[in-house]
Amino acid sequence: MPGVSSGSGGTGPRGASGGAGSAGGPRSVPGGSGSAGLRSAPGGANLLALRSHNAALVLDLLRTAGGEGISRLELAERTGLTPQAVSKITARLREDGLAAEAGRRASTGGKPRTVLRLVPEAGHALGVHLDRDELRAVLVDLTGAVLAEHRAPLDLGAGAETVLDGVVRAAAELVARAPAGASAPGDRSRPQRLERPERPEHPGGPALPPTLLGLGVALPGPLDHVRGVLHRVTGFPEWDGFPLRDALARRLGAPVVVDKDTNAAALALAVGGEGGSFAYLHLATGLGAGLVIGGSVHRGPRTGAGEFGHQVVQLDGPPCTCGARGCVEALCLAAVARGDLAEAARVLGTGAANLAGLLDIDLVLLGGRTVAAAPGAFTEGVGAVLDARARRAGGGEAAVPVRLAPGGARVVAEGAAQLLLAPLFGRDDG
């Protein structure tokens, strides 16, 4: 987060190392020199990166502790930082309005300890899901709690200006509906050092609160997550090469991060507590996957991982909108269109079994509007294919479990907001 520094001085961690890096695009990084602006932590484990990492460790524990809070001693024990370093970090977090006292807690053999909590309203993020025919946007606080939601019809093929106008309208509506604490520019108890780029082309853009970290946008791929540039979005070749991140940043005067819809959903699920390695399969007007390997979202060096829908499972099969034939997406959507959900689930399960064999994942999570309309048919059908795979493999291994993804229809939009929030708490896959 801009303006947040650990102030840890020369005290170092007992067990922490590394830095909270960023994957590209505008990022808020806790720690640093204390000067204004959004920046990425420098490469390597230098002092600035280490401070950023340490502050992120503390912030994340404050977040997970919830309203009950956590003591400085517990923070030191769980982060491996010295008590002196924790005291300096928490003092700066309190100064910047990110942390506050949550009361006192009895301790053994001494006076009660002061416990600290995260101040959720100290920062906010907008998350936007651009589906092929719908826009869904949310405003969240630092904990990821949804404060306001907006939905509107969308034609992703209507042209860039029309789509950008819809995003700006959604942002303006959500900001207008934000709780009073999210838009109090004169409140010095909250972080005020958010630099936003000028918006000379659209000076009439929405007035943004000083606590807004920026906007995350998630939409179908393929795209370049680092540069925020779209590639030939399946079914919408006119978007090829469009600099969505920069175009929206100019419109809004705020940092923007762009990612695939399935990656955003996978990030939301990982932040929300889904551990290990899993695949999130999203079936709606298209089909894609978000991959979490070892707890982190896996994008690949070109953001190409997770193009699940375009694995060919039937040579010389029906044509797909991507230009190939026999893709999982083409076969699955065709079965859905003719009302054969059992066949759609079987095809989806075949793709899931391929993933399980390639990546040795722990779990398959299903989401998207089509799955939500018939959850039992898809969980049972995909599960049956994975069960059959486990029986063929032998060895008494249990099948990879399948279940509905938590979060419902908002999971992609919430994940888009997490693209801004996750780096604050030490995740380098945001």
Q: CA–CA separation, 200 vs 108, rounded Å?
A: 60
Which pair of tokens denotes residue 362? Answer: 């722990």
- Structural domain 1-118, CATH architecture: Orthogonal Bundle (1.10)
Q: Do domains 122-265+412-425 and 273-405 have the same CATH topology?
A: yes
* CATH 3.30.420.40 given to domain 122-265+412-425: yes
Residues 293-338 pLDDT 10s: 999 999 998 888 888 999 999 999 999 988 999 999 999 999 999 9
Neighbouring residues of 176: CB distance < 8 A, sequence distance ≥ 6: 206
Q: 273-405, what's its fold? A: Nucleotidyltransferase; domain 5 (3.30.420)
pTM summary value: 0.83
Residue 3: per-residue pLDDT: 31
Does the structure show a pLDDT above 60 at 270?
A: yes
pLDDT of residue 325: 96
* pLDDT number for residue 105: 81
- Whether the per-residue pLDDT at 36 is higher than 50: the answer is no
Instruction: Out of 45-59, 240-254, 369-383, pick the least confident.
Output: 45-59
Query: Among 404, 358, 408, 367, which Cα is nearest to 383's?
Result: 404
pLDDT tens-place string over residues 189-238: 444 333 334 433 455 677 888 899 999 999 999 999 999 999 988 788 89
- DSSP-derived 3-state class of residue 222: coil
Residue 232 pLDDT = 87
Domain ranges for the chain: 1-118, 122-265+412-425, 273-405
Distance (Å, whole) CA 249 – CA 126: 13
DSSP 8-state secondary structure symbol assigned to residue 87: H
pLDDT for residue 116 is more than 80? yes
